[in-house]
Amino acid sequence: MNGGDRIFLPITVKQEVPSEKQKLYCNEEEANFIRSLVLYKDPAIVVVNKPPGMAVQGGIGIKTSLDELAAACLSYDHSEPPRLVHRLDRDSSGILVLGRTQISATVLHSIFREKTCGAKDDIDNEERILQRKYWALVIGSPRRPKGLISAPLGKVVVDNGKSDRITIIDNPQNMSAQLAITEYQVIKSSCHGFTWLELSPLTGRKHQLRVHCAEALGTPIVGDLKYGWQAHRNLKQLPCPMKSNENPTKGKTVPFGLDLESGSISEKHPHLHLHCKQMVLPNVSEALQNVQFSSNYDLSEVESLELVAPLPSHMQRSWDILNS
């Protein structure tokens, strides 16, 4: 834009976006639920196991988001609220890292950003300072048990401009194409036509794992109707073996209208089966304690944090069903 340019917006935008953001307040039940999601915290970061169905960031049509809830419930003894440094899709789950101070958030953001920018040079590096491993249940099975997907992604408009989606761009010279690299390997295959995959994204593009699974491997993720609706048309429900100790929280109300019990492959409409299960990243708190820390500080010399998030209920139930 140039100086003096004017922007005209529909009046509906002004109505949807409040002029002054109000601070979110949580009752005791809501606050306890958000705190129960915490996997790890130190002076620099707080890590939560994001539940499926909860948006990470606010927007039009979103009443509550994890960034606002974290600011309200996870500040603890800090005067600053936790800040987002990366994203997870609303319907996915797993490890989400937030910076507890402006400095730690800046460092973490650079780690995630540089991971994407240097992905080409990081393919053969087994000691990457940032490692992420997702578990996904997919429909079908890849031709090879493991491999590397390097397929650039771009956004296309569909439904006469009413919506958009991410897709693999055949021409990498296309201005809208973004480098996207994913390592994958099969964890376990099922005779029912499902496969458990471990996915390691070397870049951080929007919907990267969902599109790479659906378009590059031809195995869309269970519950992903946006990129795998055709495969779901003939998807059959599998019977769920009941156990005496199953669903200890069944019937209990979960805050924020979340449905954390249904959605396995035993149901007609399964939830998205994509979960950030493991992450290894530098101990930012230790790095910030070093008086010589600077923008070119070598984070590979810092001790690593290894984080693990248990599967959400619907994915654990699908795992049990396929192993029964």
Q: DSSP readout, 193-233?
A: SEEEEEEEESS--TTHHHHIIIIISS-PBTT-HHHHHHHHT
Rg (CA), the chain: 21
Catalytic residue among 89, 91, 122, 224: 89
Q: How many CA atoms lie within 13 A of 175 on its CB side?
A: 0
Looking at residue 235, its amino acid is L
Q: How many CA atoms lie within 13 A of 128 on its CB side?
A: 24
d(CA 24, CA 68): 7
Nearest to 236 by CA among 189, 183, 192: 192
Nearest to 309 by CA among 91, 47, 70, 89: 47
89 is known as an active-site residue: yes
* Residues acting as catalytic residues: 89
